[in-house]
Amino acid sequence: MMAQPEEFCREFAEAVRTLKERLHPCPECGNFTEEDPCPICSDPFRDRTVLCVVETAEDLVCLEQASVFGGLYQVLGGRVSPMDGEEIDPRILETLQRRIRENGVKEVIIATNPCVEGDLTYFAVVDALRGSGARLSRLAYGLPVGGSIGYADRVTLHAALEARRQVNDTNI
């Protein structure tokens, strides 16, 4: 920033200030937006029977940029981390429960990060949704596409083995 012209720095600072003033969490999903509801929640072509629960809005953006999910989201706005004193806001879990109940959600995909905090967050969400009637699933763990078994760590190899799938006759 110090190497940039002063005018660039002024415009950048104004853009950041304006961004902070105009963006707010979507009242439905928690994604950052200027509109109520956000463009994802208001998109009529989205599958409203499937919700993907993510820890952060950044996680939502990654899934959207990959164009691999066509349902709706719920942003938790954090994770469970006892060491850092972090918990999920109970109001967000209540919003998630309400959305499942009122919108006829059939499946909730819990897309937490593959780490201890992600596991704790996953279990907190599962506990909150117990008895909701929705099918609960979680993203699989394992080897990345293009990766090499020789470079994988023990935890990744274990997760890949645990998440293995049966080969069907139609896949042979």
* CA pair distance 143, 163, nearest whole angstrom: 10
- The model's pLDDT over 7-58, given as tens digits with 9 standing for 90+, comes to 999 999 888 888 888 999 999 999 999 999 999 999 999 999 999 999 999 9
Q: DSSP alpha helices (H): ranges in the chain?
A: 6-22, 39-42, 57-66, 90-103, 116-129, 154-162
Tell me the CATH number for domain 24-164: 3.40.1360.10
How crowded is the C-beta side of 70, counted as CA atoms within 13 Å?
Answer: 4
Confidence check: pLDDT of 166 > 80: no
- For residue range 114-159, list pLDDT tens digits in order: 889 999 999 999 999 999 999 999 998 888 888 888 888 888 888 8
Q: What is residue 95's predicted lDDT score, i.e. its pLDDT?
A: 95
pLDDT band at 170 (very low <50, low <70, confident <90, very high): low
Q: How far is CA 2 from CA 7, 13, 18, in A?
A: 12, 13, 22
pLDDT at residue 58 in the model: 96
- 96-108 tens-digit pLDDT: 999 999 999 999 9
Question: What confidence score (pLDDT) does residue 99 get?
Answer: 96
What pLDDT was estimated at residue 70? 97
Please say if the pLDDT value at position 66 is more than 60: yes
